[in-house]
A and B are shown apart, each in its own frame.
Chain A
């Protein structure tokens, strides 16, 4: 969190924070930030989200009891504020994912590995989204074109591959930070022969890096996106 050297006073520096068990809210905040910063859709945090859902349900009941049970209104509104903060994170996390599905629905639906990153309900949504869009494009344009040009995935029957499908820009630059010392990050695609191509990252220092170079490290949780 704070810059690498511990600035005394208010903010806890990194070491303290990683010591205490990171709460589910911290994990959700991390998932939210990663999802917001990554160009492509990441793996759905199903266990985390179901835990958060349970604790939200529980807290709502507590707030319900407190507000009707005559507890002082101050603590009720504080509990409500805490609840609203967690709800915001959850909604924002789910919303960003849905918007990414909307944006790259054809790409996701035709790539097995990407589809498997979705939650069950996201998969249903992706299916409906794909059908709706296909139907709309078909009725408005494709059905009116000559016979060899009616596909929504291929420009014409002469195309060798699906050359109409928008994909996320994996070579976009993202801001990231690692929690531990990382070496051997391969920056350039192509053979990793000379050492100069490999890159090290000190913990807690911010870097602007091409997303595809650190994609795996984000997925494995070693690197956080900001």
Chain B
């Protein structure tokens, strides 16, 4: 797949989901409660990458993860910009896109879109004002994707201001890390 080497994509697939085995499986040590035989019907926590492949082959059914449950939806509906999505799932949107088709819940897609739309405006107004401190509460509730969006706007604004100030035209190659600051 096009995203095979994408680090974030790999990390998103490490998220755990709870599944119910539709088929038995022997000789595997993934269910701490049972030895190496998993009966049909047993409930197990699996990483998404395993749950997804097993679901495709009808070996398991996947439950809707907590970060997309009713409680989160109500909070998002009430005041989406205030909801701490990052603590629920750092890749809330990416994970949502991956989980929606395999839990057969069409409303997740709609939830993602409406959450993104309403939080997007908040990010926009805060992002383009360079003065906004990154450490504030608003920053900590953003998901990774929102932070990418935020950082893109911030860096574009910052490089424009640097150019306008007429800063030195070369930067020291960042890979060398911070050279001794010799600003007289």
Contacts and interface: CB of A to CB of B under 8 A. Distances in A.
B2 interface: yes
Contacts of A164: 4
Interface SS of A by simple majority = loop
A194 to B, nearest CB: 23
B120 to A, nearest CB: 15
A166 B5 CA distance: 7
Contacts of A167: 2
Interface in B1-52: 1-6
A26 interface: no
Nearest to A107: B2
Contacts of A166: 2-6
A165 B6 CA distance: 11
Interface residues of A, number: 6
A199 B152 CA distance: 29
A103 B79 CA distance: 42
Most buried by B among A163, A166, A169: A166
A147 to B, nearest CB: 20
Nearest to A169: B2
Contacts of B2: 165-167, 169
Contacts of B1: 163
Contacts of A165: 2, 4
Nearest to A168: B2
B50 to A, nearest CB: 14
A169 to B, nearest CB: 8
A171 B16 CA distance: 30
B168 to A, nearest CB: 18
Interface string B90-130: 00000000000000000000000000000000000000000
Nearest to B5: A166
Nearest to B4: A164
Nearest to A166: B5
Interface string A125-166: 000000000000000000000000000000000000001111
A167 B1 CA distance: 8
A120 B5 CA distance: 29
Nearest to B6: A166
Interface string A20-40: 000000000000000000000
A126 to B, nearest CB: 18
A25 B145 CA distance: 40
Most buried by A among B1, B3, B6: B1
Interface in A156-186: 163-167, 169
A167 to B, nearest CB: 4
Interface of B: 1-6
**Complex A-B, nearest 6 residue pairs according to Cβ-Cβ distance, in ascending order:** A167-B2, A164-B4, A166-B5, A163-B1, A166-B2, A166-B4
Given A163-B4, A166-B5, 10 more contacts: A163-B1, A164-B4, A165-B2, A165-B4, A166-B2, A166-B3, A166-B4, A166-B6, A167-B2, A169-B2
12 contacts: A163-B1, A163-B4, A164-B4, A165-B2, A165-B4, A166-B2, A166-B3, A166-B4, A166-B5, A166-B6, A167-B2, A169-B2
